[in-house]
Amino acid sequence: MRFRGNLGSYLVTGPFAIVLAFPFYWMLWTAFKSDRDLYNVDNIPYKFSQGSPTTRNFSFLFHHTEYPTWLKNTVIVGLIVVVITLALSLPAGYALARLSGRFGQSLGIGIFLTYLVPPTLLFLPLSRVIADLGLQDKLASLVIVYPSFTVPFSTWLLMGFFKTIPVELEDAARIDGASRIVTLLRVVFPISLPGILTVVIFSFSLVMNEFVYALTFITTSSQKTISTGVFTELIRGDVFFWQGLMAAALIPSIPLALLYNVFLNRFIAGFTGGAFR
Amino acid sequence: MTDDRPRVDMTQVHDEVSRRELLRRAGLGAVVLVYGGAGAKRAVAGVPLYRHKELKGTLKILQWSHFVPAYDKWFDKTYTQVWGRKNDTEVIVDHISQAELSARVAAEAAAQKGHDLVATLAPLPQYEDQAIDHKEIVQEVSAKRGKIKDVCYHSIYNPRTKKYFGFADNYAPDPVNYRTDLWGEVGLKPTSWDNVLKAAPKLRAMGHPVGLGMSNEIDSNMFLMALMMCFGSFIQNSHGKVTLNSKGTRDALKFGRDLFKKGMSNEIFAWTASSNNQGMLASRLSMAMNAISITRSAELSNPELGAKISLLPIPKGPHGRLGLEHVMHTYMVWKFASNKKAAVKFLADLEITYKGAFLNSKYYNFPAFPSAVKNIKKELGDDRWGANPAKKYVVLDQISEKYTHNVGYPGFTNAAIGEMFDTFLIPQMFAEVAQGKSTPDGAARDYHNRINTIFAKWRKRGKV
């Protein structure tokens, strides 16, 4: 009965789900294909034959490339960038939402606009900066540069979220003798958890996907992140090792997809929190 | 003279060291080894990597990930390590995908820091001011291995400034890869562009179109410029004057349009460097212009298919059979390189003893100095990696000798040609005509003017 009641919703969301899940299906399927089967057009995209399915591609990834190192580097950079992003965007978002009035609104939009400047314009001047800092070929270069695009977006997002929290709650805490910092830590931030989680997941995803800076600042294999390491080892000249590429993309996307699902409701609340204010 | 010192019975010494004492001494020794060695450069568990001496210098190299993984393994783990020991230099080789080399090179030029040596798949005369004069390397190799090949000389030398802005260690001939079984059914061979045009509709009807790109990527660039030359169309003359707006160009554009309409599909406008490889390996395409990566991949993944793919020189056009290199692998020593001396010596040594590179690349890397590898034709005939038929690759010798010219032929590969190459103007010109957005006359005139503007800019800078 419940299914029948939701039939309309399923009919609308079903096609979307299929279209959006198809790339993941394609990754999964290709990751288990043998060389010969990959190029057998009769078997695409539903069948296996000629030595497939095989786990050889995963084995190659872990035993013949530095994939585990790239995974580790990605996680390290991601976590540090998330911490920096939160440290900067939480107070900035709150200040813009509460303390600056109309000026804050304009400043918030201004900060968001910097997020729209593409890395393809910035990588050349930033290369000089990174070289002058002596950070070429070091993960620290990414840790310094990535907040330049995670902080503006997160600040803008949190600013909208903080605006949805009634000021009366803070006033009550202040009347009870709490300082602004204590009010922030004990009242505002706990209520803002969906927004904070959104910032964490979104910033981490941005770091995982980033390519241009990772490519131009780092060439040493042991310092690469997934986005460039995989690209270098599994695209050799004009020969693409598709199965390995798909396996390499699939592995980090699974935990990230699970994370999104676990916090789905909070994630939606985080994004839509400031939508009506 | 007699030695009056008391004699020590060595057998007794062994007995006198208790187990505890032995462990203590061994532990102390290990601590000395580990922490003493930790100060050494690249020490592993305290033991220096190279015996007897610390390596004084460091040489950092950036190059593409070769399509033959074994080549990179040989280059990184064997050749450079042996060379490094001989020359007291630690050699570090970094690899990135060929498509991303330009961005990385631009970043290093902007930062004025990076690798000592960078290698690209096409010369980069745009960076002439940032690079050293590589004349010394050319002269040293010439003294030992004879003259540099003309196609390489024209690719790395600027006659205006009299400077070698790069050093080509190798180039790759660019043959036609075609399916003998499919073309056999049609009763033709891709020996002329006329034959290609005749066969293309039949091959497409059989479900196996020819795969010749008109897109912003390296293979389309090389194929279309070679096609133009076969029709008597040249971007510049030997004096560096733009000559694109010619009957030859219009004829080539008409041919490209006809070939697309009769024998290809819209996919060629979204072509990537790997499209022809994938299309041939999937048994879908009947012909492609590419270096030997297609056939070598087929030999590994699908030997039966590999046996059906044969190689030929570029098809003949109304103006003759004129081809380009597929890749001109060019090293550049930056002016800001921290170890220029080692970089220069490394390149000279690499070229003088090029046979290892030639063999480990499975004949992809043809030496820029032909005498650096003796009996190339015999080597090609004695293929050791599963060529079927066995003499399949012998034709590369003929292609390299007769039909391989530089980008910008009959002139030099100058900075203007480099910019035109990097901005993919030629594929765009062909695509516009093939899609009916422009006429052959209009496109030839329009792109002549655009390229002229580029030449004027570089002429003003004194580079053309």
pLDDT at residue A106 in the model: 83
* Gap from A96 CA to chain B (nearest CA, Å): 36
- Interface predicted TM-score (ipTM) of this complex, two decimals: 0.80
pTM given for the model: 0.83
Contacts of A132 in chain B (CB under 8 A): 111
Q: What share of chain A in percent tops pLDDT 90?
A: 49
Q: What is the pLDDT of residue A105?
A: 77
Q: Hey, are the CB atoms on B62 and A136 less than 8 Å from each other? A: no
Chain B CB contacts of A231 under 8 Å are 96-97, 100
User: Nearest C-alpha of chain B: how many angstroms from A161?
Assistant: 38
Joined tokens for residue B278 = 């994938």
Residue B312 has what pLDDT?
98
Q: Where do the DSSP E strands lie in B9-54?
A: none
State pLDDT tens for residues A217-245.
999 999 999 999 998 889 988 889 999 99
Question: How far does the CA of residue A192 sit from the closest CA of chain B (Å)?
Answer: 40
Q: How far is B284 from B44, CA to CA, in rounded Å?
A: 50
pLDDT tens profile A63-72 = 999 999 999 9
Please give the C-alpha separations between residue B366 and each of B119, B144, B169, B369, in angstroms, as whole numbers. 15, 17, 8, 9
Render A98-144 in DSSP notation, one character per residue.
Answer: HTSHHHHHHHHHHHHHHHTS-HHHHHHHHHHHHHHTT-TTSHHHHHH
Stretch 53-92 of chain A: residues touching chain B, C-beta under 8 Å:
none
Closest-CA residue in chain A for B65?
A236
Check A216 against B103: CB less than 8 A apart: yes
For residue B127, the Cα-to-chain-centroid distance in whole angstroms is 18
- What is the C-alpha separation between B327 and A154, in angstroms, rounded? 45
Cβ–Cβ under 8 Å, residues A212 and A120: yes
DSSP state of B7: P
Q: pLDDT tens digit string along A93-139?
A: 999 888 766 777 788 888 888 888 888 889 989 999 999 999 999 99
**Positive or negative, the Cα torsion across B49, B50, B53, B59?**
negative
Mean pLDDT per 10-residue interval, chain B, length 464 residues: 39 43 50 39 40 72 93 96 95 91 92 95 94 98 97 97 98 97 97 98 96 95 97 97 98 98 94 93 95 94 94 98 96 97 97 97 97 95 91 97 97 96 96 98 98 97 94
pLDDT (0 to 100) of residue A2: 66
A 113-152 residues inside an 8 A Cβ radius of B: 123-125, 127-128, 130-132, 136
Q: B107 in contact with A at a CB cutoff of 8 Å?
A: yes
Q: What is the pLDDT of residue B63?
A: 96
Cα(B254)–Cα(B247) distance, rounded to whole angstroms?
Answer: 11
The C-alpha of A213 sits at a distance from chain B's nearest C-alpha, in angstroms, of 10
Whole-number Å distance between alpha carbons of A97 and A167: 11
Q: How far apart are CA B31 and CA B179, in angstroms?
A: 65
* Alpha carbon distance B245, B233 (integer Å): 8
Look up tokens 């066995």; give the residue: B390
Name residue, tokens 């986005």.
A227
Q: Are B342 and B59 in contact (CB under 8 A)?
A: yes
Contact B110 A236 (CB under 8 A): no
Tell me if B190 sits within 8 A of B263, measured CB to CB: no
A183 reaches B (C-beta below 8 A): no
pLDDT value for B30: 45
When scoring B60, B62, B75, B94 by the number of chain A Cβ atoms within 10 A, the one with the most, hence best to mutate, is B94
Confidence of residue A265 (pLDDT cuts 50, 70, 90): confident
Question: Closest residue of B to A216, CA-based?
Answer: B104
Alpha-helical segments (H) within A178-241:
180-183, 189-191, 193-209, 212-217, 226-234
Q: Is the Cβ of A216 closer than 8 Å to some Cβ of chain B?
A: yes
